Structure 1
Amino acid sequence: MTPSRPTIYFIRHGETDWNLEGRLQGQKDIPLNDMGRVQAEEAGRRLAALAPRYEDLAYVASPMTRTRETMEIMRRTMGLHPEGYKLDERLVELTFGAWEGMTWKEVRKAEPQLASLREQDKWHYAPPGGGESYAMLVERIRPFLYDLTRDTAVVAHGGVARAFLSMACGVSTRQAASLDIWQGRVLVIEGRSYRWV
């Protein structure tokens, strides 16, 4: 990646009931809860304070309900038309396959050997039932990063943020797979560096 790549303002979708319960959402289409809506407003305030010309940014979201809700609340909070953004299928969360809807505790109880294999190499392990690994997710979203031509606000998912940090900032795959990706905040990716606001 070249240092002149546009700045990315990454916002993870707000909280859902499944986040609260520790359930693996993946590509299950779960809506925001009340806290998630508050977090979307907070992300909007942070982004408006951070980017002085925020109305000139490109805005792109994953097509899932929780990301679209977050984007629309965020834009409304910033005084922008809520629907003035694009969707990109490449930004959907990685799928946990047969494990979606389960908590990690339930996964470890039901399939201890497979859970152990994932813990040993979170980046490359793909869960059973058509699950994706982070490595597979990187290949899906790499073209999205290369296609960016201007500073962009992206509303997507925790897995997508980890893939961005690995690709754009050189964060090691082991570290990226375990990073906390905060809700209600903005992850600013500039060149090879990143910071939370």
Structure 2
Amino acid sequence: MSSADTGIARLVPPFMVFIRHGQTDWNAEGRMQGRRDIPLNDTGRIQARRNGAALRDYFADKGIDKNGLSYFVSPLSRAVETMELICGELGVEADTCQRDERLLEITFGAWEGYTIPELAERTPELAAARKADKWGFVPPEGESYRMLSSRIDAWLATLTRPSVVISHGGVMRVLQGRLRSLPNQDIPGLDIPQDRMLVWTGSEVDWV
């Protein structure tokens, strides 16, 4: 059985800041976004600027050189715009940020665009199966959290430098679970704020 299935192995990257993209209209409506390229709304832009300013102040307080880190972003536009707003607050050139497809959101396949109540009406048996096993359930034409975790584990294993990462809620759940050594079944229910940053110090998780 792989470490992604057991949840026992702990991947320990160097210092890292993880920021979820700002809010979109679909986030506000509770719709499953996945790979659908939904833009930020005005609230999301405020959240991104807030996180950029908070990161700037955090770096200044801790004496961290913003130019000494690697920057990574999901290629979806809501993550890219969040990155651009954050870089503007930091005073970092946005073109230094590497787009990495491994940081794409978990895909919900044919379910993208629907809310959970809508899916419960359209496909009640599948909605019940998802509720019973959010970790292993694969939506029609989609991806499970187990599958996502394999992708993120492979990406984490490549990190060799302190990094800032701008990505998505599903990715943030898996990353939290890995860094905190949580049981797999707990990962899909983790909190995924859009107005705070996850900071991994190398030994513990903090929120800024």
Q: Fold-level match, TM-score > 0.5? A: yes
Aligned to 1:149, which of 140, 150, 160? 160
Distance 1:17 1:39, change over 3 A: same
1:186 is matched with 197
Aligned to 2:183, which of 163, 168, 172? 172
| 1:1-197 correspondence to structure 2 within 5 Å | 1=10, 3=12, 5-51=13-59, 52-128=64-140, 130-197=141-208
Report SS of the residue matched to 2:96.
coil
Report SS of the residue matched to 2:157.
helix
Task: Return the alpha-carbon distance in structure 2 between the equivalents of residues 23 and 192 of structure 1.
Answer: 35
Report SS of the residue matched to 2:178.
helix
Contact 1:168 1:191 in 2 (8 A): no
Task: Return the alpha-carbon distance in structure 2 between the equivalents of residues 106 and 116 of structure 1.
Answer: 13
Equivalent position amino acid for 2:167 in 1? A
2:4 is matched with none
Task: Return the alpha-carbon distance in structure 2 between the equivalents of residues 2 and 184 of structure 1.
Answer: 26
Count of matched residue pairs: 195
The TM-score, its normalising length taken from structure 2, stands at 0.89
Task: Return the alpha-carbon distance in structure 2 between the equivalents of residues 127 and 41 of structure 1.
Answer: 34
1:16-60, Cα deviation, whole Å (9 max, x unpaired): 111011110000001111111111101101111222322321110
- Percent identical pairs in the alignment equals 45
Structure 1 unpaired stretches of 5+: none
Report SS of the residue matched to 1:46.
helix
1:56-77, Cα deviation, whole Å (9 max, x unpaired): 2111000100000000110001
Contact 1:47 1:54 in 2 (8 A): no
Report SS of the residue matched to 2:80.
helix
Q: How far is 1:166 from its partner?
A: 2.2
The TM-score, its normalising length taken from structure 1, stands at 0.94
4+ aligned runs moved over 6 Å, structure 1: none
Contact 2:11 2:178 in 1 (8 A): no
